[in-house]
Amino acid sequence: MNPLIPLFVIIPLAGAFLIMILGRFIRNFDKFLASLILLILTVFSIYSLVTTGENPSLYKVGGWEPVNRVPIGIYMVMDGFTVIVLCIINIVGFLSVFYSISYIKRYTSENLFYALFCLMVGGMNGVVLSGDLFNIFVFLEISVISSYALVAFGVEKNELEASFKYQILGGLASFLILFGIALIYWNTKTLNIADVREVFKTGYDRSFYLFAELLILSGFGLKAAIIPFHAWLPDAHSSAPSPISAMLSGVLIKAVGIYVIIRLFFNMFEISESMSVLITTLGTLSMVIGVFLAIGQWDIKRLLAYHSISQMGYVVLSIGMGMIIISRGGRSDVAALAVAGGLFHLVNHAAFKGLLFLNAGAIEYTIGTRDLKEMGGLAKSMPATSATSFIASMSISGIPPFNGFFSKLIIIIAAIMAKFYLLAVLAVIVSIITLASFLKFQRYAFYDKPEYNHDRKIKEVPFPMIFSMIVMSLLCILLSLLAFPGVRDVVLTPAINILTDPAKYSTFIIGI
Amino acid sequence: MIVYLLCFILFLVGLYGVITRRNLIKIAISMTFMEFSTFLLFALIGYVDGGVAPIVDPADPVQPYVDPLPQALVLTAIVIGLATTAMMMAIIIRLYRKYGTFDIREIKSLRG
């Protein structure tokens, strides 16, 4: 029993409650408490990352012990993969909330913003920690309902329309997920992920199983905005306030989408070749189509949102390749390399995409527009924003010293070693188009004209915003260390082991 | 078997409504159709023919009980569904104030 696990959910939920009640009466209480909560959670998550390693830990809610080795209570599990995603959620969350201190001043009812933010973080922490299908659904709903509200926070025409679209598709996804959970419960009479796997081992109805798999994949695929399900993402991510866009793009689509897909398809379902080919195809499609949709955009945040689809495609593609190799019984080191590439890119994407959205927010904060054609020459008056966004742009397009390069390199090497030459070529081409698209962003936003010539005098954004952007850009550089053996063994290897060895997770849960 | 199929058909009816209706309120109603078809399926899974309420009777402990877990899950899911519907209605009311219409064809400022 690890007593730290429930705190990840309890602290933000209690914080949201307190902010709602007391934030109205005490001035600046909301900002202070929200930053403090996220700071505490960041410390906890880094501590867990260092201590967990190869030893997963468990928390049984209510202290319900298993009966005849069948888990009957709600389990919360913290293993190598969980702690990585927890770190992403809480670090990006802390930087976004700190950034919001200045950014969100232009909106009314600030305390509601911070309360919803804490609620969203609490929901996401719950999703990644839960070891139980129905709890994943409940926490997922907590986080997405607060994100619906946060997308509509500006209550103007665009925000409301985007939020409505997001709610329709998000609601559809939730029902598909619930339907899938119902089918799994019907067949196995259990909801614990590890126990479901144990029951499936003793035999199952093939067509039933496939139907449940497809329902789960399409439900979480909708949440993760993989290509045929992507329609809501560009609207929702571009209409939300910028720190929220950073959270949605950097964290939410991973924690409630990609994380659950990876967890369920590696640790719950048996990896089958047809499913893994399907997942790889979806990943490739999102990678290629996403970047082509991004080229023609002139709204910065919309451009970044389409790039999120494309970069998530890299992650899904790489994970899918790992699944194909495992299902064909290929070399396990290549499978581990493919999975490593996917997880590494997942972490990196949180850093650079979060930073890019914060940069976009800083530009919008200063000059009041998101249209690239109306900007230009901002490099001189906004040096910090310009420098950090240059680092982020180079990271996302895979230029050597930055983190994006290493993860893309690992993905491409894995594709070549597994003899998927077409996928390797596509990954390189998409990376080049990404570079072109970000050079366009750099040129039109920061250079092009010698000076930004409008009647209004522009100056650099306030300190909290600069602080968050600089920390994120440092993360962009430092995360490339994850590619090297010493650091990789601490952070990525436990996660890869728990994913690629299918029996490890279930024996750990059932064995305790 | 036929009841389960009917649940699935109800789900598809809701999906059809979401796709084809033009009125925001009708879309929200179709969403609740889909929601409740899922809840119905969940509740039916726990049903045992001739079962009684799952309270153990010391006089006759082996009589057939219905499965209580799906009922608990459905209750939770209904509460979540209430929150989703309330949220959607709030957004629809705000949209009506901004655009002056419930017609989805008029509400299209986001494109591309």
Q: Quote the ipTM score.
A: 0.93
Tens digit of each residue's pLDDT, chain A (512 residues): 788 899 999 999 999 999 999 988 888 888 899 999 999 999 999 999 988 878 888 888 888 888 888 888 889 999 889 999 999 999 999 999 999 998 888 888 888 999 999 999 999 999 999 988 999 999 999 999 999 999 999 888 888 999 999 999 999 999 999 999 999 998 888 889 988 888 888 877 888 889 999 999 999 999 998 988 888 898 898 889 999 999 999 899 999 999 999 999 998 888 888 999 999 999 999 999 999 999 888 888 999 999 999 999 999 999 999 999 999 888 888 999 999 999 999 999 999 999 999 999 998 888 888 888 887 778 888 888 889 999 999 999 888 888 889 999 999 999 999 999 999 999 999 999 999 999 998 888 888 776 666 656 677 788 889 999 999 999 989 988 888 888 888 888 888 888 888 778 888 888 76
Q: Which residues of A touch B35 (CB under 8 A)?
A: 171, 175
The SS3 assignment for A271 reads: coil
Closest chain A C-alpha to B2 CA, distance in angstroms: 16
How far is Cα A456 from Cα A361, in angstroms, rounded to an integer? 18
- Tell me the residue length of chain A: 512
Query: What pLDDT was estimated at residue B14?
Result: 93
Query: What pLDDT was estimated at residue A456?
Result: 63
Query: What pLDDT was estimated at residue A453?
Result: 61
Q: Which residue of B has its CA nearest to A235?
A: B110
Closest chain A C-alpha to B59 CA, distance in angstroms: 24
CA A27 centroid distance within chain: 32
Q: Which residues of B touch A237 (CB under 8 A)?
A: none
Q: Which residue of B has its CA nearest to A187?
A: B45
> Which residue in this structure is represented by tokens 């188009």?
A433
CB A358 within 8 A of CB A242: yes
pLDDT at B12 over 90: yes
Q: Which of B27, B69, B109 sits opposite A168 (nearest CB)?
A: B27
Q: Which of B38, B83, B108 sits opposite A175 (nearest CB)?
A: B38
Neighbours of A401 (CB within 10 A): 12
Closest chain A C-alpha to B53 CA, distance in angstroms: 18
The distance in angstroms from the start CA to the end CA of chain A is 10
Q: Which residue of A has its CA nearest to B99?
A: A157
CA A372 centroid distance within chain: 26
| Alpha-helical regions (H) of A226-299 | 233-239, 242-247, 259-267, 273-295
The model's pTM is: 0.93
Task: Give me the mean pLDDT over the B89-102 stretch.
Answer: 91
CA A202 centroid distance within chain: 34
Closest chain B C-alpha to A37 CA, distance in angstroms: 25
Query: What pLDDT was estimated at residue A505?
Result: 84
* Inter-chain residue contact B73 with A134, CB threshold 8 Å: yes
Query: What pLDDT was estimated at residue A450?
Result: 64
Query: What pLDDT was estimated at residue A180?
Result: 92
Query: What pLDDT was estimated at residue A452?
Result: 61
SS (H, E, C) A27-56: CCHHHHHHHHHHHHHHHHHHHHHHHHCCCC
CA A289 centroid distance within chain: 20
Domain ranges of chain A: 7-511
Domain ranges of chain B: 2-54+64-99
* Inter-chain residue contact A302 with B45, CB threshold 8 Å: no
Domain B2-54+64-99, classified CATH 1.10.287.3510, yes or no: yes
How far is Cα A308 from Cα A297, in angstroms, rounded to an integer? 13
Task: Give me the mean pLDDT over the B90-95 stretch.
Answer: 93
Closest CA to A136 of A38, A16, A259: A259
CB A398 within 8 A of CB A431: yes
pLDDT at B112 over 60: no
Q: Letter for the amino acid at A174?
A: S
Residues 6+ apart with CB under 8 A from A224: A253, A254, A256, A257, A258, A261, A312, A316
How far is Cα A244 from Cα A153, in angstroms, rounded to an integer? 10
* Inter-chain residue contact B11 with A175, CB threshold 8 Å: yes
Query: What pLDDT was estimated at residue A202?
Result: 84
The SS3 assignment for A61 reads: strand
Best mutation target, B82, B94, B96, to test chain A (most A CBs within 10 A): B94
Query: What pLDDT was estimated at residue B111?
Result: 65
Closest CA to A159 of B99, B100, B81, B17: B99
